Structure 1
Amino acid sequence: MHLGTIRTGVGATRAAVREDDDWLLLDAADVGALIAESGWRERVAAARSAGERVPSAAAELAAPILRPAKIVCCGLNYHDHIVETGREIPEYPTLFAKFADTLTDPTADIVIAGSDRVDWEAELAVVIGSRLRYGDRAAAEEAILGYTVANDVSCRDWQSRTLQWFQGKAWDRTTPLGPVVVTADAVSPRDGLDIRCDIDGQTVQRSSTSELVFDAADLVAYVSQFTELGPGDIILTGTPGGVGLGASPPRWLRDGETLTTTIAGIGSLSNTMRLSAHAPQQTREDTA
């Protein structure tokens, strides 16, 4: 099953399920709101016979989940990326968090003013479908709704200011997500999904989800030991080798470049960078 969130007007969105070449609109604002309610699968089934349809070619997709309660991210989780950073294989996942307003649409421009070392990080994102606390691996697999695509666009100059990564990872509207959530019965990262990042058509990252040190179920189970996970929560699983920071010399994203992030069996993001090294000056009127 492919679930998405469709823009239906200014500031308006609807959850939807894809059927052939159409999207069937559902009575929920986004995928997160849909799956938070019991019986949502029955509502999807009912929409298949009587739902309002939008042709896929005419649908404007938003980030599938607009306001997740929690976004937990894992760094240093692909073997090839760990090698390029010169670090050892971690014993435990390296985690940090994002805010919901870091997310943006799968085709949105990414606007950053105030960083001149903007980097790319193609990632598989896990979407939680049911509540989980103190889960083991089997329970974690049951709690996973499905998977989507993300790019953890990072401001490396800010990230390197301290040992904590947060300030380089939590810029507003810099993490594209989507285009759809593919449910876990239709796709599995354990099968080794091809993951790729291109800049203006040139491939800079290419790997497989089989290279993950801690896979989706491992991460979900681990995170559930210290915080309860609920429907619509998101876990970013880390990026493979090939980031700009690991190049020699380092290579940063430039204004006007298009960043394309693709995971086989799920889909692609396409985001144009709108970058300025200097943040706009704040005026008294801005702070009034």
Structure 2
Amino acid sequence: MLYETLKVDVSERIMTVTLNRPERLNAFNSQMMNELISVFDRADADDGVRAIIMTGEGRGFCAGADLEKGGEAFARDTSIDEHRDGGGMVSLRIYELKKPIIAAINGPAVGVGITMTLPMDIRIAANNAKIGFVFARRGIVPEACSGWFLPRIVGISQALKWVYSGKVFSAEEALHGGLISEVVAPEDLMKTARATAIEIAENTSATSVALSRQLMWTMLGADHPMESHKIESKLIRWAGRMPDSKEGVESFLEKRRPDFKMRVSKDLPEFFPWGEERKFHE
């Protein structure tokens, strides 16, 4: 499938999604929103994809929402009850992914350019990257479900410090604040991200990773550890009877790399997904 705002490549079972509007610093628009949702649907349906890396073309990751309309950039014609935030629709789709996803932040990532990375599993940044939750400086508010994600990732005080000020800050500050897991030289960014993705692709069960990803994310909203215990008990009972469990143990005992055969597209348990389906309109 051809995309206009993205470049997509699959090699070594890793899908690399590159935001591809370099003339606009990869600014986010409605077409990019639709194409990102489409590519994530494609990744989930393709058992040949074990991990996803997202980065930006050129010198930026994503400069935020496209402001080409000037002062009317955030004006919407939809009713206040019907309007859905586009960044939020992307974040919700990422949240539902069955494949691990890594953000390789190669340059400026501000506004939706950083909030849409919050539901990603790992964020690695080049040491020249700049990050900003700049909404208050544009007279708007955080979006892309960041009211849920950001405090859970960095804590409420750090989240509010960045959001209140709207300042643009360094990758090192992002690292110290817990937003970024690693800062590397620009020339090492994709190599570092791919090494992590390859570690997953070559050594793990696809169904184990898919279920573990959803377990960790969904349990962030649980009100008691018993909720995690309930799901884990089902999962470990189910997984222990599956071929990948047998292969995982036997390959360990035989000191060889495992050859997992189960597929995310058809081999997940019947009780997945276990959470209540959430709708924008009830």
TM norm structure 1 = 0.24
Q: Which structure's relative contact order is higher, taking Cα pairs within 8 Å and 6+ residues apart?
A: 1
Structure in which a larger fraction of residues adopt helix: 2
Structure in which a larger fraction of residues adopt strand: 1
